[in-house]
Chain A
Amino acid sequence: MSNKKILIVEDDADVRLGYRILLNAHHYDTSFAADAATAAGEARKHQPDLIILDLGLPAGDGFLVLERLHNIPELTSIPVVVVSARDFHGNREKALTAGAKAYVQKPWNDTELLAIISGLIGAPETETRPVAPAEVPVET
């Protein structure tokens, strides 16, 4: 059985790399979009099980992406977790109203983020080896 796929929409390259390492280590496959304009196209191409979405993005913003995803029938049902440095107050409610399933404040706590992801698309399949950049056992 193949891994669950997560699309990460995030403009900061360092943060994208961090996501890749963390999520691959926890048996999720990752794909990326670096701006609002390409996010929906990437989602259509990869058909992810879940989307992690930043709010502050070039070429639009996360709310625009939420709206687009909502308007594309094949993508509407993909759960979106907004992870943003923007303030929790105000933005969280706005994001949830726009269809996001959860709002995580940057900098986040790994345990919390992973719990939200597995709550939405199921726990990772632990029997598969991670495609981690370093060959180290993953702590559970």
Chain B
Amino acid sequence: MTSQPGIADRAPRILIVDDERHNRQLMEIMLTPEGFHLLTAASGEEALDMVAREAPDLILLDIMMPGMDGYEVAGRIKGNLATKDIPVIMVTALGDRNARMLGLEAGAEDFLTKPVDRAELVVRVKNLARLKTAGDDKHHLMLEDEVGSRTADLVTRTETLEQQAVDREQAGAALRLLTERLSLATAVARLGVWEWDLGSDSLTWDATMFDMYGLPHQADLPYARWAAAVLPEDLPAVEAGRRSSIDAKGQGSSEYRIVLPDGMRRSISSVERVILDYRGTVSRVIGVDMDVTERKSAEEALELIRQDQLRFKDDFLSHVSHELRSPLTAIKQFTSILLGGLAGELNKEQREYQEIVLKNIGQLQSMIDDLLEVTRLETGKLTIALESVSLGDAVTDTFNTLQETARARGITLSCTMPPDLAQAYADQTRVRQILIILLDNAIKFTPEGGAVTVQARLHKEDPRFLLLEVSDTGCGISPETTERIFERLYQVSEPTQTSRKGLGLGLYICKELVTRQGGRIWAQRREEKGSTFSFTLPVFSLYSTIAPLFRNDKWPAESVALVMLEASWPGAWPAAQSREEWSQEVRDILQRCLLPNLDVLLPSVSPGSQGERFFVAAFAAEAGTAILVNRIRGQLERAPGLNPPGLTIATSYTMLPPWPRDAEATTEAALSGMATHLIQAMTSHIFPGCLS
């Protein structure tokens, strides 16, 4: 063999022989950065051809190949004078003892075990390639020495390995099978495989990945190149997900969109798993990407169709209800005119019959209302505004509404409730709505002379809730029915029921309303007679309503202020508008003045008969708070309807004690502390001694 001039400048030429494309690519990816000139052959025959033509400096030779296998290739290379000095590294499956022995006999210089470790591969290739290209006798001798010592080493290792041969052989077989399956699966599923080396912050991709991202194939890809391909708005979530997989030393998945070099968008579904090094620290993340663009767009199309159908149903229901109301208006108008005597005095029968007409108009009207209510429930248009609610007031209002109906049927209404019952944290209008439906049902199904009672008390089983029970002395309900009675369109079909049924939406609406206020509803047959409908509502507590507002990871600024708006009317409420509407408008205005992530409008605190108070927790320093207060004042002044004569509105604020702005601040205890500060400020500044 000859030493060529300028040989040191020539990149060592490495021939990679493997029948598996993936294996060849993997080796290429590992060796390219080292500056080698790489050649590849997919079979033994091709390898011999390449050796003759290209005279490589080193051969990496896979053993298991169809046709001519690695042993035969090595034997022929070593048996040929022209090529016998080219070092051969045989690549074998882990623990394949016989393979090593046979390879050694065939004249191979070194061995590498699959899966190939990158660092090991580079070191071994560099050693042998240098020996070969330097090419003098001394080196040749050194090479022989090296081979000799390595052979001895390998024999020792082989003996050791023999101990575990059975286990390893099984493991090796399983691994080969898995590798086969994996490469088949990735090819069929068009999965791209990637590896992220955290040390160098670079990515190693297989060919599918490059095709998927529309990038030219290359060995190492800087991580930033991948990040640049991801749609900017999707990137933070993906990176956060990967970060948490790494932190947890586990795995994760994400879906995101990428932009190809030609500007096309594709959707990618990605799964990653963290690989630990021998010290147990995270060194690499491997993952699989799949292009799910078609699936995504199919899903989106389906969702659009579904939305469209829902919208059609809702539009249809709204339209029908509206159109039904118009003729009903005229019917009710003229019935009222007749009953009002505006078209002449009615005799007893005429009056009685017109009353029947009017009653049925009422039923039709409430069915239309129910239909619209259900449409609202199902389209999310129904709003629930939670505040502190007096159940006593709600029951009194309901009794006032239904007293006439009950009296007409000879049914007595009564209510028992402890005078000091806590307030509920609920929506006042919705609580009344629930009570009206339940009481109206109870009256309807109770025979003349019966009684309907409402009981309200603290729920014994869970004192965070109030329990309301509506009991009647009617025909009762069967146990099977109690389970199903709250279903939509469910109608009681028992022989004892003679009353007209309606749409069967009332109890469904009740259940939805109760659930959306955080409560529970159920029905029972009473032991003596009739049935009881029970529902729960959360007890209003400043702490439990305020504390959750602060469980926010965007835990902001330096200090917190409590802004207070106090309205008072020394005499009676100015008549021009309803107080509830006024109150809602004030809340709307406050909400408009707030910064979405920095200020919180606190729940209403039970309004008094001559004053009402609104609170805002503002995450601001004093200067910022002053600006906020001015903004609120300005907005209120520009809404003349909110300042009727006889009503005064005062706006003020107080700064809360500061608390540590460090990692501790986000703990539950610190948040609780915050809520407690606020409550103390609210109680001590506004209602001295009023709240416990």
Cβ A89 vs Cβ B332 within 8 A:
no
Stretch at the interface among A11-19, A27-35, A38-46: A11-19
Q: Is B334 an interface residue (CB 8 A)?
A: yes
In the bound assembly, the distance between CA atoms of A77 and B252 in angstroms comes to 65
Instruction: Check: B119 CB closer than 8 A to any chain A CB.
Output: no
Q: Quick check: is B606 within 8 A (CB to CB) of the other chain?
A: no
Count of chain B residues with a beta carbon within 8 Å of a chain A beta carbon: 27
Say yes or no: A85-B342 contact (C-beta < 8 A), given A107-B332, A119-B575. no
Which of A1-9, A63-71, A121-129, A132-140 makes up part of the contact surface? Answer: A132-140
B337 contacts partner chain A, Cβ-Cβ < 8 Å? yes
Name B331's closest neighbour in chain A (CB-CB).
A107
Whether, in the assembled complex, B329 has its beta carbon less than 8 Å from a beta carbon of chain A, the answer is yes
Which of A14, A85, A90 gathers the greatest number of chain B CB atoms within 10 Å? A85
A22 with B322: CB separation less than 8 A: no
Q: Are B329 and A107 in contact (CB under 8 A)?
A: yes
Q: Interface digits, B323-357 against A, CB 8 Å rule (1 contact, 0 not)?
A: 10110111111101100111111000000000000
A106 to chain B: closest CB distance in Å?
4
In the docked arrangement, what's the CA distance between A22 and B329, Å?
A: 13
* Chain B 295-342 residues near chain A, CB threshold 8 A: 318, 321-323, 325-326, 328-334, 336-337, 340-342
Asked whether A22 and B341 contact (CB < 8 A) given A85-B325, A89-B381, the answer is no
Let me know if B361 is at the binding interface, CB within 8 A: yes
A21 and B322 within 8 A (CB): no
Which residues of B, 183-198, contact A by the 8 Å Cβ criterion?
none
Mask for A73-116, Cβ within 8 A of B = 1, else 0? 00000000000011101100000000000000011101000000
Closest chain A residue to B343, Cβ basis: A134
A87 near B322 with CB under 8 A, answer yes
Interface size on A, residues (CB 8 A): 26
Q: Could you tell me if B326 and A133 are in contact, using CB atoms closer than 8 angstroms?
A: no
CB nearest neighbor in A for B584: A93
Q: Kindly state whether residue A57 has any CB partner on chain B within 8 Å.
A: no
Whether, in the assembled complex, A25 has its beta carbon less than 8 Å from a beta carbon of chain B, the answer is yes
Complex Cα–Cα for A19 and B337 (A): 10
CB pair B325 A106 closer than 8 Å? yes
Whether B365 pairs with A107 at a CB distance below 8 angstroms is yes
Q: A107-B328, A107-B333, A119-B575 are in contact. Are A138 and B342 (CB under 8 A)?
A: yes
Residues of A within 8 A of B343 (CB): 21, 133-134, 136
* Contact call B330/A139, Cβ cutoff below 8 A: no
From B334, B345, B361, give the contact of A18 (CB < 8 A).
B334
27 A-B pairs in the complex with CB atoms less than 8 angstroms apart: A12-B329, A14-B330, A15-B333, A18-B330, A18-B334, A21-B342, A22-B333, A22-B340, A22-B342, A85-B322, A85-B323, A87-B318, A87-B321, A87-B372, A89-B376, A89-B381, A106-B326, A106-B328, A106-B329, A107-B361, A107-B365, A119-B575, A132-B342, A133-B343, A136-B342, A137-B341, A139-B340
Q: Measuring CB to CB, which residues of chain A are less than 8 angstroms from any residue of chain B? A: 12, 14-15, 18-19, 21-22, 25, 56, 85-87, 89-90, 106-108, 110, 119, 132-134, 136-139
Q: Which of B's residues lie within 8 Å of A, judged by CB?
A: 318, 321-323, 325-326, 328-334, 336-337, 340-345, 361, 365, 372, 376, 381, 575
